[in-house]
């Protein structure tokens, strides 16, 4: 009996990309590159957590795997973006997760990214998990556990929302990603103060940063957010390159998929969705609001300046008329705050000067 041959249903671009990744991994191992696990901030409930990490081979010392060293880097010298792209992902790496006494073995994907949900019983608040792969040094991943009684959360875009980047324009995207360090990026005026007030008013609520950026720049974005006093929270990024069925990943589908997932994972939470009018945020948030009206507290859209809009490739769609009662616009955090206050999401102290004197 002749066994039929298995057909490879991957897109040709994916097959080429996989071959290149495996070649780079073999060469890096021959050069005795250090295997490093980078733990990213995850989230979860009292019965499960979503663990995010990446397994890499790098010639640099693996200090980034140590949580304490990573925290020191938050105030250390800036790192050029291109350096984060020189490390080599470990394809399908086996990863051990130690979750406060419980051990789970998981597998990274073809880009070395770990994005798994594991069952574990944890109390609300911040926790730390330990991650190892092969002979790597132990890494730590912070996890924010959302309490069962929490009914509010924030989902925020990054580019042109919390920091001004004009990222959609290809040349500027390359410049900001590969050349400029986080010290040279500009924080959007008033947004950090707005987010901090939201976190203070809604204690225990998650703040999740949803972006189409690559996982390679996660350390840079983390340093930027911390340096500019944004609340700590998970980064939901994506992996650049081909997928099994297409040449390039879809950033809009990445955002749509994660929003739908959050609605399913936290059925009690109403989300404040924060983005900008430069590209697709209005369209994506409008679709989510139409499909899950009970999961949206409000939508806050930062309006780009005319110059920023040109660099961003134009403005997105405007809000549908039926959603104007919970859809707000403003050029910065100070302009958005009064609308959110009137909607009941912020206290009256928003009228006060946050920086007296």
221-257 pLDDT tens trace: 888 899 999 999 999 998 765 555 444 556 789 999 9
Segment 293-298 mean pLDDT:
96
189-224 pLDDT tens trace: 999 999 999 999 999 999 999 998 888 888 888 888
As assigned by CATH, the class of the 152-351 domain is alpha beta
Of 127, 274, 70, whose CA–CA distance to 192 is shortest? 274
| SS3 annotation, 153-210 | EEEECCECCCEECCCCCHHHHHHHHHCCCHHHCEECCCHHHHHHHHHHHCCCCCEEEE
Do the two domains 34-145 and 152-351 of this chain adopt the same fold? no
For residues 284 and 288, give the distance between their C-alpha atoms in angstroms, rounded to a whole number. 6
CATH 3.40.50.11540 fits 34-145, yes or no: no
**pTM beyond cutoff 0.85:** no
| Domain range list for the chain | 34-145, 152-351
Position 219 scores a pLDDT of 85
Burial class (CB in 10 A: 0-12, 13-18, 19+), 158: buried
What contacts 328, CB < 8 A, 6 or more positions away? 298, 299, 300, 301, 336, 339, 340, 343
Report strand pairing: 296-302 vs 327-330: parallel
């Amino acid at each position: 009996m002749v066994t039929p041959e298995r057909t490879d249903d991957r897109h040709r671009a994916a097959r080429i990309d996989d071959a290149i990744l495996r070649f780079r991994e073999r060469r890096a191992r021959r050069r005795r590159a250090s295997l490093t696990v980078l733990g990213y901030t995850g989230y979860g409930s009292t019965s499960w957590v979503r663990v995010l990490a990446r397994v890499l081979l790098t010639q640099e010392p693996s200090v980034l795997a140590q949580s304490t060293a990573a925290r020191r880097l938050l105030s250390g010298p800036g790192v050029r973006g291109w350096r984060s792209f020189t490390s080599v992902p470990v394809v399908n790496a086996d990863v051990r997760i130690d979750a406060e006494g419980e051990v789970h073995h998981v597998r990274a994907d073809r880009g070395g990214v770990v994005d798994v949900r594991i069952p574990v019983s944890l109390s609300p608040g911040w926790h730390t998990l330990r991650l190892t792969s092969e002979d790597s040094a132990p890494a730590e991943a912070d996890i924010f556990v959302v309490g069962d009684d929490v009914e509010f959360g924030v989902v925020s875009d990054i580019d042109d929302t919390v920091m001004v980047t004009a990222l959609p324009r290809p040349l500027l995207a390359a410049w900001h990603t590969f050349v400029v360090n986080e010290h040279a990026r500009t924080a959007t005026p008033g947004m950090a103060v707005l987010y901090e007030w939201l976190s203070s008013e809604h204690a225990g609520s998650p703040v999740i940063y949803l972006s189409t950026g690559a996982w390679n720049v996660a350390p840079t974005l983390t340093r930027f957010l911390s340096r500019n006093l944004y609340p700590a929270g998970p980064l939901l990024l994506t992996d650049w390159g081909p997928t099994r069925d297409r040449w390039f990943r879809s950033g809009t589908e990445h955002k749509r998929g994660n929003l739908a997932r959050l609605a399913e994972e936290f059925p009690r939470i109403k989300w404040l969705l924060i983005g900008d009018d430069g590209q697709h945020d209005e369209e994506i948030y409008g679709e989510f609001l139409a499909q899950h009206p009970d999961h949206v507290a409000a939508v806050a859209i930062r309006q780009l300046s005319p110059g920023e809009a040109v660099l961003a490739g134009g403005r997105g769609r405007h809000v549908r008329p039926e959603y104007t009662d919970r859809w707000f616009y403003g050029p910065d955090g100070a302009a958005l705050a009064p609308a959110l206050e009137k909607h009941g999401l912020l206290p009256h102290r928003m009228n006060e000067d946050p920086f007296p004197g």
